[in-house]
Amino acid sequence: MIYKVFFQSSNDEVPVREKTDSIFVEAQSERDVRSKLKSYNYNIEFIQEVEGAFLEYEKQNEKFKVLEL
């Protein structure tokens, strides 16, 4: 499955909406996503499973890239 992860780059700063970034990760579950990103020290705000029409829409974005960790 593919998950969209909304995060802040630094776990040491207060979350600010303007600094929120997102990445796509291929994983088996939300727990698997968190374990794969643990070493990056991200402040994860939200993890959303992406499928169907939403996935097709995201694929149209030129920045779409799935991280394979």
Instruction: Report the CATH number that the domain containing residue 9 is assigned in CATH.
Output: 3.10.20.730
Contact present, 2 and 50 (Cβ < 8 Å) = yes
What pLDDT is stored for residue 11 in this prediction? 81
What domain range includes position 59? 2-67
Phi, psi of 47 (to 5 degrees): -125, 125
Task: Tell me the pLDDT of the chain averaged across its residues.
Answer: 92
Global pTM? 0.88
What pLDDT is stored for residue 44 in this prediction? 94
pLDDT, tens digit (0-9, with 9 covering 90-100), for 7-28:
998 888 888 888 899 999 999 9
Query: How many domains does the structure of the chain reveal?
Result: 1
DSSP string, 14-46: ---GGG-EEEEEE-SSHHHHHHHHGGGT-EEEE
Contact present, 63 and 21 (Cβ < 8 Å) = no
